[in-house]
Structure 1
Amino acid sequence: MSNEARRLRVGMIGVGGVGRLHLEAYRRSAAVEVTALCDADPERVADAAAACGAAAYTGHRDMLMSESLDIVCILTPPASRLGIVADVAAAGRAILVEKPMATTRADAEEMRRLCAAAGVPLSYGASYRHLPALKHARGLIAAGAIGDVTLLREDFVGGRGPSSRMALPPWHYPEGGIGGSGMGLVDHGVHLIDAFAWLTGSPVTWASGRGNVSGAPLETEYAILGLANGATGHLLYEDGTWPTQLPAEGQFSWGASWDVDGYHPGGAWQAHPGSIHVHGTRGALRIFHYAHALYLSDAEGTRQITLEGDPAPDHFRAQIDAFACEVRNGLAPTSNADAGIAALAVLEAIYASGARNIRVEPQS
């Protein structure tokens, strides 16, 4: 079999929650083959490995020593990733690391340094870039369909009252640092911080807002972002109240999605689907990123745009396929460590702003 035809061998570290969704998506790939899985929970990794015919490990160092791998995907909680990246880089394997890249910008920068020193590619899991609705929206923006972008916004406000708030545990986000719930500013909003810059081709130059601290009581989170092109980004998150959307404002969701109630597999009516609003000088876009729908509004009215590609969670397959192509051809990752570091720099600026009640420029 030629090198071009051979599927690249992938090892996955972390197969709980979103890791299982990555695994199922990778199994549909013609570019990669999952040959090894690692998880600290022996029963969980054994079950996952049996389902896909992969080798099972409870220690990533054992996996690295025993398996001939081309790519290692690190899907463990953010607090654990720096040490794992160090070991995988030392083993000379290409790395894809989930979002957020780490819990601090300093740790993410150290990951970048370690991989550069070892000469291994490091890809940041900015998976929203592979959602068809966002990809098509980016093309429309670049083509000038809505003119100059002036405002981007996303919010998640809902839940089932204060008791529905559920912070991610300290082993995920250590107490005293960034944290909050799964649909909050850090674990979810980090996608939008990257997406706003990616959609517009313009980085965030200043930020203000407030984010939840791990171990502290959960509150409403928000961020105002200034982009280099003059546009403003707005994020708002609160999952300890009730939604106000009316029934007719829902969408049939073709794709899988996440909200305060957890994971939804798709293929059903969704009363409160997540969406991204992009406003410009000549029109606006409503991007239902998980529901797999895109609407363009301008002087001619509002119309739905036809999308190509499969909805979530297939974006995880598209992501690994893109990285596998880059690894195979010796190309630098398109979604690289710089993107993950930039997102963390913005998060840290938001937290600094909340602590000091001022607008703060992210450090480069």
Structure 2
Amino acid sequence: MTIGEGSETHAHLLSLVPKMITFTCHLCGLPDDRFPYACNLCDLSFHKDCGESTPEINYSCHPKHLLKRFTRVPSYTDRKCCMCRNELRNVFYHCSICNFSVDVDCANNPPPFTLVHPKIHEHSLILMTRRNFVCNAYGMDDDPNPYVCPQCNFMIHRNCIDIPRVIKINRHAHRIFYNHCLDAGDWKCGVCHKEVIWTCGAYSCSTCHDFSIHLRCATRFGIWDGIDLEGISENILEIKSYEVIEEGVIKHFSHEDHRLKLKEESGANDEYILCKACNYPIISSPFYKCEECDDCILHKKCAYLPKKKIDSFYKMWFTLTTEREDLDYFNQSPCSICNARVPEIN
């Protein structure tokens, strides 16, 4: 990897040193022990951010003045990026006239100035930087860069714009639903137990009418599984792969021509029976078997695997498949989670 010759930081080509070494950045003067970008002609080293930076930029979120590159944080600032509120690092951009600072990440990836058709509101929203406000979705004022609807005097954090409408959390037995405001009253958050401002947005339960929870508390890691349940029936988080015909008899999607009958013992002393799904021996496990063609044998637990289910880690539907082209692909590729290869299907 290189930073082009004739960049505004250095006149020569800068190349990534493929090992961790102790160096002092020629631009910001700070020592480091990571992977530097170095000029082989001048024997100079740079941080990646420093090497790629330019002396000044036009920034869409601060159009009044140019932002100049700084490598020392002025004492009159709060030492934080005005956009993301992270601590300023070794190189950043600053307007001394307005005391406005942005780190390199925010300088390279400015938020959109206008949001058309946002999920959270019926009108377009406009970004207004450095304005203290109370978020209409969250009820807190920890980010001074709201998106605003001038028509409604509606203000919201950037991180609250795409909030899920319907979720399930591990602190409550039922699904909870996002509301733009609650009924008037004294509400307490079901997670942090602090006040919930009823005029601002919060989650509530349609079954337990006294339950509410802050938006940020509900969507915290370890509280919510990350799945937006809007449009998903409460009864179809998993879709069955079989239909019960009568007690001990099912019709399975992988063998639709015939019915499968439950067997409690395999008689494995006489023969080596493999499950068609997992390819492991039946041995003494209960299993389903097609008595008409003997072409389908499934462990009871394999037969009961859902046809489709939502995975809480990947936050998407996964489908159980028997298609030959899909199986050929999986037989050549390891599992993305355990890294083991899928066994060859008989």
Q: TM-score range by the shorter chain?
A: under 0.3
TM-score, normalised by the number of residues in structure 1: 0.22
Larger Rg: 2
TM-score, normalised by the number of residues in structure 2: 0.23
- More helix by proportion, 1 or 2? 1
Pick 1 or 2: higher relative contact order, CA cutoff 8 A, min separation 6. 1
